[in-house]
Amino acid sequence: MRAVKERLVQSFEERFGKEARPRYFVGAPGRVNLLGEHTDYNDGFVLPMAIQQEVNIVAAPRDDGRVRIYSLNFEQDAELHIDRLSESTGPRWSEYLRGVLVVLQDAGFAPRGMDLVLYGDVPAGAGLSSSAALEIATLLASSAVSGFEVEPTLAARLAQKAENEVVGVNCGIMDQFASRLGRKDAALLLDCRSLDYELVPLKDPAVRIVIVNSNVRRGLVDSAYNERRRECEEGARLLGVPALRDVTSREFAQQRDRLPDNVRKRSQHVIEENERVLSAVEMLKKGDLVGFGEAMWASHASLRDLFEVSCPELDALVEIAREVDGVLGSRMTGAGFGGCTVSLVREEAIERLERAVRTEYPKRTGLEPDIWVLTPEDAGAFVEPLS
């Protein structure tokens, strides 16, 4: 963290001059979803957790309304103006920052001009919410330099609105909520209808969360995501409820034959996945990690067979994990058709899993994986004044 801060401060001074030293250092994490996939836009339950990978920004206020931005990742500049935020002229990545400033203004806040340098190590396109991390980091930087506060739940809602209405990505609330409210050593149980949430401890030193990036480009996600949403909405309509979260598995079993085949399969996944999340949270509270792992295996099978958003590479990673003694559970995470798997792994099995994945995955797919082991370090959004 210190090295990132020093690099950003140095880059800031090189870009904007030493007389304009940054005033704030902010960060917002990516997230991995442990359980509850494709339930968020069905008003259901999700169980993400913040990860150590994050987006960091150093920021200083300006008095002229200009917003000057430099991205270390893209090695590109962008510029906005607080009085002309309707103009979209910058690179694609700057749209996320513009969107946040637009929704802040629309909500009655008064963001001011600022100079920003940003860097993120959340892998883009891996299903770990790099966009939400960028949005939350931008919101925190703007509120810090402008002298206003945004309540955390509202911050998540505004960041989601920025992505929906300005960037044009029809995401649910989970990503932004996890980035703003996720914390160290805890999963975040979120009710996506009420936005009630609970931090569920996940800090047993005998286990770790391991994320593996399949490095499959997720080219089908947008069209398939929209199609799945439509099928879920049709399922709720045919079942006579506002959303699929309002149907129990027992009620579904009595009415499933009324639904077209694909609508039935999508609805079954969502209904059972919601119940999996709630039962798995109780397992975590009781320390039943084996039971929690079984819920992860079941979730992947459902995503593969009922929701049909897995792919051969993700299936291969889960199959490899199942063959390693000490892996309690594994599943795809994210929208699907690529991205990452998440596994619950006993400490002594981590090296075995890494070795198996690095050996077997390239043989089966021709691709090289990236592997991250979540360690008990700080994770969570923050604002730090700089002297």
| 108-137 core/surface letters (b: 16 or more CB in 10 A; e: else) | ebebbbbbbbbbbebbebbbbbbbbbbbbb
- Counting other chains too, the contacts that 232-237 makes at CB distance below 8 Å and 24 or more residues apart are 232/38, 232/41, 232/42, 232/266, 232/267, 232/270, 234/260, 234/263, 235/259, 235/263, 235/264, 235/266, 235/267, 235/270, 236/42, 236/267
* 196 noted as active-site residue: no
Among the listed residues 2, 362, 365, 35, the one whose alpha carbon sits nearest the alpha carbon of residue 209:
35
SS3 for 299-365, per residue?
HHHHHHHCCCCCCHHHHHHHHHHHCCCCEEEEEEECCCCCCEEEEEEEHHHHHHHHHHHHHHHHHHH
What does DSSP assign to residue 49?
E
Choose, from 83, 175, 261, 378, the residue flagged as catalytic.
175
Are residues 56 and 120 in contact, defined by beta-carbon separation less than 8 angstroms? yes
Between helices 152-161 and 130-146, what is the axis angle to 10°? 120
Element (DSSP H or E) covering residue 69: strand 66-71
- The pair of structure tokens assigned to 95 is 């749209």
- What three-state secondary structure class fits 199? strand
Question: Which residues are known catalytic residues?
Answer: 175
